[in-house]
Structure 1
Amino acid sequence: MAELIDPFNRRIEYLRVSVTDKCNYRCGYCMPPQGVHPDGRHTEYLDADEIERIVRAFAELGVKKIRLTGGEPLVRKDLPDIVRRIGAMDEIIDLALSTNAHHLARHAETLKAYGLQRINVSLDSLKPERFEAITRGGDLNKVLAGIEAAQQAGLNPVKINIVVMKGTNDDEIEAMVDFAREQGVQVRFIETMPIGQAGIGVMDQHYPMEKILARVRAHVGDELVPLTSRSHDGPARNFRLGNSDTTIGVISAVSQHFCETCNRVRLTARGVLALCLGQEDSVNLRDPLRDGISDDELRQLIIDAIAKKPERHFFNENVHNIQFREMVNLGG
């Protein structure tokens, strides 16, 4: 079997698949208040058959992990069918979902039955009014119900992602650690990233990894134990809380980039293969697919695309390359 090796000898085994860039929330670091839907044509998006075909091509090239993202994946009505199709692929050993969990309670059991294994939930505040303000209309109670339903369905581990913003929610770092311990979930603190006008607009609220870790250490003391990275940890630097199963992670794309170990690429909802979160390098897969290329030609197109993957992003040095596309378009 051919493998996807980029020019810097990194083996690409992880594909993030955005199924939509629509979302029922409007988090300020992800998209502007009016959303980012330049057109409403349904045909702009990959359909379930096209997603299945592209994912299968990646699987045949050695990709083992798929994460379904958005926007908010659960606003797409055929998401369970997409999960079922990918879950049936023997090559895929890790199928995960990133969600705001607003609609998760009624779908968790079905998604688990169709092959979904894990979820990540965006949760930037445990205070209802603040949560509503950050998400511009989100309902914290529905999110908490979704988390509980996911745990009951066996979608474990449940990982909570909090984007830490100075002056907005940085006072909840300790509370989120306590929440993780009490609820038996994982928590990952994420630095703001200068992607798109929305992301650049919140960089004055950037709160660096070392300050986050200092706060966590002061809160839990010697209970914070460093962990060896595992395959599904991605870019997070992880710690265990004492002898519990609860882990604390920090993702530091800006203050300490993790590009040397990057093993992923992103497929946007409109079928563009984005090779780096912080660079414009990309390859259109949708149009050749619709023009009738064969499976062999599709695999070769992917191989050729990976040969263009850049060495790293340059968040600190230059944001010009990334200010014209929003995080929501890239699937995070």
Structure 2
Amino acid sequence: MNRLQDRQGREFPYLRLSVTDLCNFKCQYCLPDGCIESQHKSALTLPEIRRLATAFAHLGTRKIRISGGEPSLRSDFNDLLRTISDIPEIKTLAVTTNGYKMDKRIKSWLDAGMNRLNVSIDSLQPDMFHRITGHDRLDEILRGIDIAFENGLSSIKVNTVLMKGMNDHELDRFLAWIKTQPITVRFIELMETGDTNDFFLKYHVSGATVRSKLIERGWLLDARAADAGPAQEFSHPDYQGKIGLIMPYSKDFCASCNRLRVTSQGDFQLCLFSENGYSLRHLLQDDGQQELLIARIRDLLTLKDDRHFLDQGITGATRNLAMIGG
């Protein structure tokens, strides 16, 4: 096994794989008008996904996160999970979901090999949740989380996009929720994308405001695992759960980058906010191209910049987060 390493010496044991750009929610910070166009029908096939994941496993990837759009909208989703979980080197198979019908589906995902779960919950207030997502499904999602715990998941991460005047007052509500449950709530700073400039300017709030409140209340910063995402995670002896902060506008945010991305069309994205991706799909058509695929991934990684340029308002080709899975 040869580990992937870029020019800055960063290693990449973590792949985020989007399996569709289709989404059925209307989150205000992503697809406020719904998913008007998608390439869902031409997404990577199961054999293509197997070859891709196998190549990354050969290069040291041990964690793959399946994202969308909403990945569970694929009719072959459970088969997709089995395909990846059957690769011995992949130790962590995670799913990021909006939680749609999760109460009815979560057990089958676990049976298919998923062993980590991220659920998007932007508010614990039903009316605000509905306002943000366009769906009145908070109870259904919370029930799905309970069922996940009942069926063996030891911890769950919840993603909450922090928005000024909408949910930035809910810290105490989230803290009460995780008091006795092994849930990590990750407050994610609102990020500017090509379609959301005005929304970003109106609702962005720094995660540092939450960080200050946590420190004042005795929360302590945890050491970061090698395959962890970019969150700063905080724990407290009186709480079973944790709080994470993802602050892409903070200094040196990219210094610990350890993740790579592939879109549902097979484009290798060196950053969430890259100007363009590099197609790998022509090398996914048969098993005989694995060596060429591995060499291509290595070569492309040399092009990765040392940082993104969000602080300059440069959002690359990412019009919305559903395009690539956030």
**Corresponding residue for residue 264 of structure 1:** 259
Conserved? CA contact 2:273–2:315, under 8 Å: no
Summarize the Cα distance change of 1:29–1:182 in structure 2 as closer, same or farther, 3 Å threshold. Answer: same
Q: Distance in 1 between matches of 2:116 and 2:267?
A: 25
Structure 2 residue matching 1:195: 3-state secondary structure: coil
Equivalent position amino acid for 1:134 in 2: I
- Shift of the 199–267 alpha-carbon distance from structure 1 to 2, 3 Å rule, reads farther
Distance 1:133 1:92 in 2: 38
**Partner SS for 2:169:** helix
Change (3 A) 1:39 1:120: closer
Letter in structure 1 aligned against 2:123: S
Distance of aligned partners of 1:291 and 1:283 in 2 relative to their CA distance in 1, 3 Å threshold:
farther
One-letter amino acid matched to 1:245? Q
RMSD of aligned alpha carbons: 2.0
Matched, 1:277 2:272: yes
> Which AA in structure 2 matches 1:328?
A
Query: Aligned-pair distance for 1:199?
Result: 6.1
Shift of 1:292: 8.6
Q: Does the 8 Å contact 1:240/1:247 carry over to 2? A: yes
Equivalent of 2:230 in 235, 240, 264 = 235
User: Does residue 319 in structure 1 map to residue 314 in structure 2?
Assistant: yes
Q: Is the 8 A contact 2:276 2:316 kept in 1?
A: no
**Corresponding residue for 1:331?**
325
SS of the aligned residue for 1:294 comes to: helix
Shift of residue 196, structure 1, vs aligned partner: 2.8
Q: When you count helix as a share of all residues, which structure comes out higher?
A: 1
Q: 1 CA distance for matches of 2:45 and 2:136?
A: 28
Structure 2: gaps of 5 or more residues: none
AA partner of residue 128 (structure 1)? P
Q: Give the fraction of aligned pairs with identical amino acids, expressed as a percent.
A: 35
User: What letter corresponds to residue 251 of structure 1 in structure 2?
Assistant: I
CA deviations on 1:52-102 (whole Å, 9 max, x unpaired) are: 110111001111110001111111121111111111111111111111112
Measure the CA separation in 1 of the matches of 2:72 and 2:197. 23
Task: State the partner residue of 1:144.
Answer: 142
Query: How has the CA–CA distance of structure 1 residues 170 and 145 changed in structure 2, closer, same or farther, with 3 Å as cutoff?
Result: same
In structure 2, relative to structure 1, the CA distance for the partners of 1:231 and 1:63 (3 Å cut) is same
Native 8 Å contact 1:74 1:103 kept in 2:
no
Aligned amino acid, residue 24 of structure 2: N
Alignment of 1:58-97 (within 5 A): 58-97=56-95
The one-letter code sitting in structure 1 at the alignment partner of 2:34 is: Q
The answer on whether the counterparts of 1:192 and 1:203 sit within 8 Å (CA) in structure 2 is no
Pairwise CA distance, 1:231: 2.9
Moved more, 60-69 or 173-182: 173-182
1:9 corresponds to which letter in structure 2? G
d(CA) in 2 for partners of 1:61, 1:123 = 33
Matches within 5 A, 1:180-199: 180-198=178-196
Give the partner amino acid of 1:297.
L
1:290: Cα distance to partner? 4.1
SS in 2 for 1:202: helix
Out of 195, 212, 216, which is 1:214 matched to? Answer: 212
Give the TM-score normalised by the residue count of structure 2: 0.93
2:48 maps to which residue?
A: 50
Amino acid at match of 2:254: C
| Secondary structure class of the residue paired with 1:15 | strand
**Deviation of 1:31 (Å):** 2.1
Contact 1:109 1:153 in 2 (8 A): yes
Q: Check conservation: 1:165, 1:192, Cα contact below 8 A.
A: yes
Corresponding residue for 2:115? 117
- What TM-score does the superposition give when structure 1 sets the normalisation length? 0.92
Conserved? CA contact 1:22–1:70, under 8 Å? yes
The Cα of 1:287 is off from its aligned counterpart by 3.4
In structure 1, how many angstroms separate the alpha carbons of the residues matched to 2:298 and 2:75?
31
Contact residue 25 and residue 134 of structure 2 kept, 8 A: yes
Q: What residue identity is the alignment partner of 2:67?
A: T
Matched residue type, 2:325: G
The 8 Å contact of residues 17 and 65 in structure 2, kept in 1 or not, is answered as yes
Larger displacement relative to structure 2 (283-292 or 116-125): 283-292
Cα pair 1:278 1:313 within 8 Å, conserved: yes
* Structure 2 Cα separation of the partners of residues 320 and 106 of structure 1: 37
Segments of structure 1 that go 5 or more residues without pairing to the other structure are none
1: distance between equivalents of 2:215 and 2:83? 43
> How many angstroms apart in 1 are the aligned matches of 2:57 and 2:198?
34
CA deviation vs aligned residue, 1:142-185 (integer Å, no higher than 9, x gap): 11111111111222311111111001111112211111224431
Give, in whole Å, the separation in 1 of the partners of 2:164 and 2:119.
Answer: 21
Equivalent pairs, count: 326
Q: Which residue of 2 aligns with 1:289?
A: 284
